[in-house]
Amino acid sequence: MVPTIRKILLPTDFSASSTRAAEYAGVLAKSLGASVHLVHVLEEPFATQGAWEFQPPNTPRPGDELYEDRRARLAPIAEMLQRQIAQVTQEVRTGTPTDAIVAAAVDYGADLIVMATHGRSGLPHLLLGSVAEQVIRHARCPVLAVRESGAARVHRADKVA
């Protein structure tokens, strides 16, 4: 069976890297005739991931104002995508980014996730982790991680004459 890509999930955190990922998703969707499902995740207050994961009881949900702000920020991205492809949906979810993105991929039946990676290493990676890395580990479908620069690195061994 040949894999087909008909549904692309595009998580965004509104960073420059996410804008670059949106460009990739648009090009792929257009060439494959796929739909794009644009998602932003509002992190729940005080929720953490990892060994110390907890959610205090009765934690208030993000207010409607914050939700509406994020919906408004999704609109220009959706409009940019709609210039290239016909079917674009947008959604704001609440939760931890990794869990919400993986759940959205399942809910939409995504064949591919196209998302940004900030390329952190060292201490920033240790402290902040990598949502892209965790999504790659837990998603049921392939994940295309796009760097802001969009530059590809080619590693070549020097030829000995």
**pLDDT, tens digit, 9 for 90 and up, residues 67-112:** 999 999 999 999 999 999 989 999 999 999 999 999 999 999 999 9
* CA separation, residue 81 to residues 15, 40, 55, 123, 155 (Å): 16, 15, 35, 35, 33
Residue 18 lies in a domain: yes
pLDDT reading at 24 higher than 90: yes
The one-letter amino acid at 134 = Q
pTM confidence score: 0.78
CATH number at residue 31: 3.40.50.620
Helices (H), 11-144: 16-32, 64-82, 97-108, 122-128, 131-138
Whether 23 maps to a domain, the answer reads yes
Instruction: From 107, 86, 103, select the one nearest 94 (Cα to Cα).
Output: 103
Q: Report if residue 19 sits inside a domain.
A: yes
* pLDDT at residue number 144: 93
Of the listed ranges 52-66, 87-101, 141-155, the least confidently predicted one is 52-66
Total number of domains constituting the chain: 1
The residue range of the domain holding 121 is 7-45+59-85+100-147
Give me the mean pLDDT over the 109-118 stretch. 93
Q: 54 lies in a domain?
A: no
Q: Does residue 95 fall inside a structural domain? A: no
**32 inside domain:** yes
Task: Tell me how long the chain is.
Answer: 161
- Give 71 or 57, the one with higher predicted confidence: 71
Domain-located, residue 92: no
Q: Is the dihedral of CA 119, 38, 94, 134 positive or negative?
A: negative
**34 within some domain:** yes
31-51 average pLDDT score:
79
